């Protein structure tokens, strides 16, 4: 006898359940690489919204990652990936050699659902071995999986020792040579001195502002696509951040005054006049939609910057209008294409003597040092293809 056809409500239930399973893998991710970023991101409000964005952390030890995240019960082993091997990781070349020789880390990276994402926001330190070496590796993996990415890179404090700058120099040369993803540069000294408020008027001090920025970027689904397209159109690799958070429209009176505030709170020392592109994202209470429509904001921003920089493009993303009381506005801007010569010269100068010492001691070969730019893309792809 043939079995009876299932009832329509059973089919509907199965279809609904299958749809829910598909949604278990978020489209977006917030990825932290290195101890410093992980300790920041693990406190972010977006971490608990697993259905909206995957939180994923990478460092030397999975156990350490879980220890740093223990205050957030929503995080577990599925959110952590470590080298998990008794290997020296002080310098970038030590990490890369280990990853290239042993396949466990790459296998673990490929086993995670990162290739199912639409895009990813990455926060990484680059003064430590894991951050310096693994950031370009993760970016390459995402690129090979056709996943868009935007990397926020925290540079070392000027007071940190030469080894921090040796690792940073490697990351900067590698990222600068790879036509893979836009890179947002953040100076640690500027970051930790940041003072502002959120949309409720509560203080935001120090590196906590990175969580606020990431939460805003995650609220805009097209941000990675838009910034990436802007970067390709004008061949811009490096950006930095200007922001004004929780600004009261009634108190400041105009968007121009808010822009002035943002200029006094840079997250990197840079030459605005040499910059070539500007990406703007603004979050506005819905009751101010008429006063701060996309067209009005676009014209005011362009007019204000006209005397300060000769931008080739000012791109204003569709504003985020939120249904909430109050008049506080979040303004987030990525300024790109500025001259990085002075910055790179400083990083190289601080790292050069240690690099020479490492070469003399046989820890680092001249070929490895000289090939940072020329073959980095091919080298990382080779590691991931094993």
DSSP for 23-67?
TTS-SEEEEEESHHHHHHHTT-GGGG-TTTEEEEEEES-HHHHHH
Q: Which of 143-147, 214-218, 348-352, 374-378 has the lowest mean pLDDT?
A: 374-378
The whole-number pLDDT of residue 49 equals 63
Q: Which residues pair with 80 in a beta bridge?
A: 57
Residues 6+ apart with CB under 8 A from 229: none
In the predicted structure, residue 179 carries a pLDDT above the cut 80: no
In the predicted structure, residue 152 carries a pLDDT above the cut 60: yes
**Under a CB-based contact definition with an 8 Å cutoff, are residues 154 and 191 in contact?**
yes
The whole-number pLDDT of residue 21 equals 44
* pLDDT tens string 108-129: 999 999 999 999 999 999 999 9
* pLDDT tens string 243-279: 999 999 999 999 999 999 999 989 999 999 999 999 9
The whole-number pLDDT of residue 373 equals 54
The whole-number pLDDT of residue 368 equals 77
Distance CA 290, CA 126 (A): 43
Q: Determine how β-strand 277-285 pairs with β-strand 328-336.
A: antiparallel
State whether residue 333 is helix, strand or coil: strand
Distance CA 41, CA 56 (A): 9
Angle between helix axes 129-144 and 376-385 (nearest 10 degrees) is 70
**Under a CB-based contact definition with an 8 Å cutoff, are residues 328 and 201 in contact?**
yes
Distance CA 94, CA 92 (A): 5
Distance CA 375, CA 47 (A): 36
Distance CA 250, CA 202 (A): 17
Distance CA 361, CA 98 (A): 19
Residues 6+ apart with CB under 8 A from 386: 103, 106
């Amino acid at each position: 006898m043939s079995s009876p056809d299932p009832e329509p409500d059973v089919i509907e239930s199965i279809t609904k359940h299958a749809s829910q399973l598909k949604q278990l893998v978020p489209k977006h991710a917030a990825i932290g690489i290195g101890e410093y970023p992980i300790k920041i991101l693990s406190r972010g409000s977006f971490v608990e919204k697993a259905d909206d964005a995957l939180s994923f952390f990478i460092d030397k030890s999975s156990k350490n990652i879980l220890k740093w995240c223990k205050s957030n019960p929503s995080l577990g082993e599925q959110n952590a990936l470590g080298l998990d091997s008794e290997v020296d990781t002080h310098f970038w070349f030590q990490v890369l050699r280990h990853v290239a020789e042993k396949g466990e880390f790459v296998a673990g990276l490929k086993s995670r659902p990162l290739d199912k994402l639409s895009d990813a926001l990455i926060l990484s330190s680059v003064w430590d071995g894991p951050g310096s070496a693994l950031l370009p590796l993760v970016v390459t993996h995402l690129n090979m999986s056709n996943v868009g990415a935007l990397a926020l890179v925290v540079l070392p404090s000027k007071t940190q020792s030469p080894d921090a700058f040796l690792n940073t120099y490697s990351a900067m040369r590698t990222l600068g040579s790879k036509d893979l993803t836009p890179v947002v540069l953040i100076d640690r000294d500027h970051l930790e001195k940041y003072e502002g408020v959120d949309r409720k008027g509560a203080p935001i001090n120090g590196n906590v502002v990175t969580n606020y920025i990431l939460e805003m970027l995650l609220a805009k689904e097209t941000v990675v696509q838009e910034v990436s397209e802007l970067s390709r159109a004008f061949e811009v690799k490096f950006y930095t951040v200007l922001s004004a958070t929780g600004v009261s429209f009634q108190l400041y009176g105009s968007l121009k005054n808010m822009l002035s505030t943002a200029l006094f709170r840079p997250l990197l020392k840079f030459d605005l006049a040499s910059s070539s592109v500007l990406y703007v994202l603004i979050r506005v209470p819905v009751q101010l939609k008429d006063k701060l429509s996309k067209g009005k904001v676009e014209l005011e921003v362009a007019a204000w910057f006209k005397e300060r920089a000769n931008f080739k493009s000012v791109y204003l993303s569709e504003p985020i209008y939120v249904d909430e009381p109050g008049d506080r506005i979040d303004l987030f801007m990525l300024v790109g294409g500025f001259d990085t010569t002075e910055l790179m010269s400083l990083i190289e100068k601080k790292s050069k003597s240690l690099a020479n010492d490492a070469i003399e001691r046989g820890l680092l070969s001249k070929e490895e040092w000289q090939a940072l730019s020329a073959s980095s893309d091919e080298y990382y792809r080779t590691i991931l293809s094993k």
